């Protein structure tokens, strides 16, 4: 199929979640250039200089992103923009994000939901050319995770350190480290980055 011109920009702080998201996009659309902007606070400046087929902006951390989104909408600088939101964002912030008019997607959405949403923005139904939308199937890990291991995995993807995971789950740091080792062994991943990419790609941490 003919691919529309333009790169995809992911504006999100460095994190394991961003690595997983970019990996999903690159695996799904290998011929599309995926660019990364480490600081969402620079988004407005960049979009005055360059156009993208789609921008995916993470609004879960950057406090300066909301006014930028409002300016982008006012000046029509970015017609195709997807905003990632978090579970625990204040209601007022979520309301303001909705008021920008840009589509919102939970940061904890499954890979299938991410791909469907991105495909819908890149290729509206009446478009003559579009990105192919693959059918993704949830693949279970080689060895099933326990409920506690899944809880630890979700917090690892949320960029929590061992102490933060221990505090949230009321565990000792040593127990958290044990769960992380078990996750690596069960998946065959060699690093935490590899574990996160694999977990997001296969949908193991879908909300």
The mean predicted confidence, pLDDT, of the chain is 78
pLDDT digits (tens, 9 = 90+) for 28-86: 888 888 999 887 677 777 877 888 888 898 887 655 677 777 777 666 666 688 888 87
CA angle 21, 200, 207 (to 5 degrees): 105
Please check the confidence at residue 176 and state whether its pLDDT lies above 90: yes
CA distances (Å), origin 203, targets 108, 114, 161: 10, 11, 22
Structural contact between residues 43 and 13, judged by C-beta atoms closer than 8 angstroms: no
Look at residues 96, 18, 5, 109 and name the one whose alpha carbon lies nearest to residue 57: 18
Please check the confidence at residue 172 and state whether its pLDDT lies above 90: yes
CA distances (Å), origin 5, targets 68, 71, 121, 130, 156: 25, 25, 14, 10, 35
**What's the whole-number mean pLDDT along residues 136-154?**
80
* pTM of the shown model: 0.65
Class of the CATH domain delimited by 8-122: alpha beta
Structural contact between residues 141 and 202, judged by C-beta atoms closer than 8 angstroms: yes
Selected from 3.30.70.1350, 1.10.10.10, 3.90.1720.10, 3.30.70.100, the CATH number assigned to the domain covering 147-202 reads 1.10.10.10
Please check the confidence at residue 141 and state whether its pLDDT lies above 70: yes
Every domain of the chain and the residues it spans: 8-122, 147-202
Q: How far apart are CA 104 and CA 88, in angstroms?
A: 14
Give the percent of the chain with pLDDT over 70: 79
Q: How far apart are CA 106 and CA 80, in angstroms?
A: 17
Give the percent of the chain with pLDDT over 90: 14
């Amino acid at each position: 199929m003919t691919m529309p011109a333009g790169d995809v920009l992911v504006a999100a702080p460095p994190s394991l979640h961003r690595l997983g998201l970019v990996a999903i996009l690159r695996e799904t659309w290998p011929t599309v250039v995926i660019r990364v902007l480490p600081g969402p606070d620079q988004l407005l400046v960049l979009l005055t200089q360059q156009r993208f087929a789609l921008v995916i902006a993470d609004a879960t951390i950057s406090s300066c992103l909301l006014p930028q989104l409002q300016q982008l909408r006012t000046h029509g600088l970015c017609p195709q923009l997807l905003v990632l939101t978090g579970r625990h964002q204040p209601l007022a912030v979520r309301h303001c994000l909705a008021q920008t008019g840009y589509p919102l997607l939970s940061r904890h959405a499954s890979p299938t939901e991410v791909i469907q949403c991105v495909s819908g923005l890149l290729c509206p139904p009446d478009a003559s050319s579009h990105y192919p939308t693959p059918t993704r199937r949830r693949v279970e890990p080689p060895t099933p995770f326990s409920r506690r291991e899944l809880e630890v995995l979700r917090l690892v993807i949320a960029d929590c350190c061992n102490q933060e995971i221990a505090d949230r789950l009321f565990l000792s740091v040593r127990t958290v480290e044990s769960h992380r080792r078990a996750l690596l062994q069960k998946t065959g991943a060699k690093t935490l980055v590899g574990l996160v990419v694999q977990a997001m790609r296969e949908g193991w941490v879908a909300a």
